[in-house]
Amino acid sequence: MSCSIFGDALLIPPVSLCSVTNYQGNMEKMNTLVNSELTNNPAILKLIGYNNLELMYENHGYHVRFMYTVFHLNAYELLASVIIWVYRSYHRRGFSYEYFSVELSAWQRAASTSLTPEAAAEINRVYQWMIDHHDDFMAFAESPDYQTIPFVSVCTR
């Protein structure tokens, strides 16, 4: 398997402390916006595989807190590894892969409407990276080598 997403993760510019603080102060608002947008999506049951909405809401709560940690630590190689696990585990529970594209786009819109323009630009750069690598995350999640996916330190050697 290619290590390109892990190498690309190292190229994501750090999010400034000011933007991280702005994100932290608006996490609940953004989570509410994403929950509302996805709940009102006419294809929601197809996207979440007829799971209950509470499971989706729980995922969004985990997401916003995890992303705060990623932004605070600028830990994008961790982000790449965890996204693969999230794709794999939620897809196994019935979520469609399309859900992730829809969800990540919703997070971008929530950031754009909730954060300062500067913070939204920095945060959305990371969300765009995730959207751009959607197919890579699916491929890794479906790989028979999932258990042995190399981490950045292995990929850069």
DSSP string, the chain: ---HHHHHHTTSPPPPHHHHHHHHHTHHHHHHHHHHHHHT-TTHHHHTTT--HHHHHHHHHHHHHHHHHHHHHT-HHHHHHHHHHHHHHHHHTT--HHHHHHHHHHHHHHHHHHS-HHHHHHHHHHHHHHHHTHHHHHHHHH-TTGGGPPPHHHHT-
CATH number of 4-145: 1.10.490
Residues 6 or more apart from 105 whose CB is under 8 A from it?
Answer: 131
- Per-residue pLDDT of 70-112, as tens digits, reads 999 999 989 998 999 999 999 999 999 999 999 999 999 999 9
- Per-residue pLDDT of 25-38, as tens digits, reads 999 999 999 999 99
User: pTM value?
Assistant: 0.90
Q: Where are the domains of the chain?
A: 4-145
User: Does residue 3 contact residue 150 with C-beta atoms inside 8 Å?
Assistant: yes
- Per-residue pLDDT of 120-139, as tens digits, reads 999 999 999 999 999 999 99
